[in-house]
Chain A
């Protein structure tokens, strides 16, 4: 019997947000090493927040990501408003949801058109895809621009919005400015349907994953702003019980913490999880389209996440249309929020998955402690597990007959397995905990890069 060795390293993962690498090593048909290495330097946002004022995390944490800044603002606001005992509802809540819809649209279509679709169409980049399908990619860009326009109208800027504050907004957009979004959104509606049909027609590799799907579930539609944290295995908790069910651990090969269940099991947040836990919450038109395209109620093939992401774009467009039609300028643009001492958890659904914030404040509202748990940190072990499954399937399929071409294809497929979950490495690398070992008495551990 000839045993096979496979050893490849992708030093810089392409078409992901941020800087990471993938290392896979197989010796005698056994996977001996498999690491999604995140080497982007830690950014210490949680440390920056200590000592800052009650209202500042909304603006500071927005700078964590240029793709999903509103998600950070919303989770920060949710946590701090909870400490203050304030509930933001009515038109102000709808306006926040509209801002978030814009972010879902721009983030998701960017991933679909430029980062993920090339994988299924034999293209090396979004540019190559633009060359081959200029009309399709132009529509993707138009969709993205509409998402950005919503963010600019509601948030004051297309990236890193400046109009969000605790209790609501600094200034409510004028009625006519919001109304002007109706026409582009009507175009976006059909474009989103067309995009879902396009991606649903791709040829997907077979793979079934069995991660626990964790997401929010709320009473007011598909989950975005708050709700309970649920899973397809019966989890149903308030976000304040997060630590009882989940852990975050440092590993040597990543500057982002690894999230796991307290049992040690992997879990997955993001579109696949939201879809599985909220299939009954989608608008009727999305439901009908999913049925027509034979999208299962629980999609366990991560390569097909692009279809779910497309359906979520349609959900966001439909919800944005409804909110634009029903918009009445809220007066005042915010409700009072008084700084106070306490501990508050906040959670919302960022495009890539569940985003948890926790703050501890003193009597003046000064931030004593901050924790931010982004979806990519939570998904890292699950992503590594997916890559492991891809390698195992490859070994079973080819055995000792694998050609160099097949092994090259394996590397490519492993990269897609990472991109399936749209990891945002830049978001994930802001952990605070750094373990320092006393190296005078023991051999030093490998240090995170």
Chain B
């Protein structure tokens, strides 16, 4: 991500903050935003059809979303975007990340580099994030910084993001 000659590094957290653990993508992106200004951070709650408009062709893009049934809660997984299956075209009430990535490909606007990270979540009901996952937000943000090759701009002790 660092030392790229052109384009931006964009990290997009997707998910609904009001749907318990589904809000982990936005929560981790918020935590990232408090650690570094080397990446552009965005949150998208709902309506992922417009996801391809959030980047340019020469950008490095990282998408973070909650995933179900993949190991222990809070585990970070890198997912190969090309292995996702898209079902868009039947309805538009539920365009998900896979659909949005496929749409970007069809629109010839896949970014220069696209990485997709999933974080295992369990509770997709209504209400706040589970304490179990909430406690892992800062650690996940640090893991992602490491994955992205970024050094934190702010020392851990000086972060204003609440540490659980």
Contacts and interface: CB of A to CB of B under 8 A. Distances in A.
Interface of A: 12, 14-18, 66-67, 110, 114-115, 124-128, 130-131, 134, 137-138, 141-142, 144-145, 148, 157-160, 426
Interface stretch (B88-96, B127-135, B141-149): B88-96
A235 to B, nearest CB: 33
A137 B45 contact: no
Contacts of A160: 46
B102 A127 contact: yes
B83 interface: no
B106 A144 contact: no
B86 A127 contact: yes
Contact of A114 (B46, B52, B86, B92): B92
A36 to B, nearest CB: 16
Given A138-B109, A145-B53, A18 B91 contact: yes
Given A130-B107, A148-B47, A141 B93 contact: no
Contacts of A66: 46-47, 93
B75 to A, nearest CB: 29
Contact of B45 (A12, A124, A157): A157
A261 B58 CA distance: 57
Nearest first, the 8 closest Cβ-Cβ pairs linking A and B are A125-B89, A130-B106, A159-B46, A145-B50, A131-B106, A134-B107, A134-B108, A14-B90
Interface of B: 45-47, 49-50, 52-53, 86, 88-93, 102-103, 106-109
A127 B53 CA distance: 15
B135 to A, nearest CB: 27
Which label, helix, strand, loop or mixed, suits the secondary structure of the A interface? helix
Nearest to A124: B89
Given A67-B93, A128-B106, 20 more contacts: A12-B90, A14-B89, A15-B89, A16-B91, A66-B46, A66-B47, A66-B93, A67-B92, A110-B49, A110-B92, A114-B49, A125-B89, A126-B92, A127-B86, A127-B103, A138-B53, A141-B50, A148-B50, A158-B46, A158-B47
A161 to B, nearest CB: 11
B125 to A, nearest CB: 15
B49 A18 contact: no
A125 B102 CA distance: 13
B83 to A, nearest CB: 18
A426 B107 contact: no
Nearest to A145: B50
Contacts of B106: 127-128, 130-131, 134, 137
Contact of A138 (B90, B91, B107): B107
A212 to B, nearest CB: 29
Contacts of A16: 91
A137 B104 CA distance: 11
A130 B103 contact: yes
22 contacts: A12-B90, A15-B90, A15-B91, A66-B46, A67-B93, A114-B89, A114-B92, A126-B89, A127-B86, A127-B88, A128-B89, A128-B106, A131-B106, A134-B106, A134-B109, A137-B106, A137-B107, A141-B49, A141-B52, A142-B53, A157-B45, A426-B93
A159 B50 CA distance: 13
A352 B89 CA distance: 20
B89 to A, nearest CB: 3
A141 B93 CA distance: 15
A125 B108 contact: no
A124 B86 CA distance: 14
B92 A115 contact: yes
A159 B45 CA distance: 8
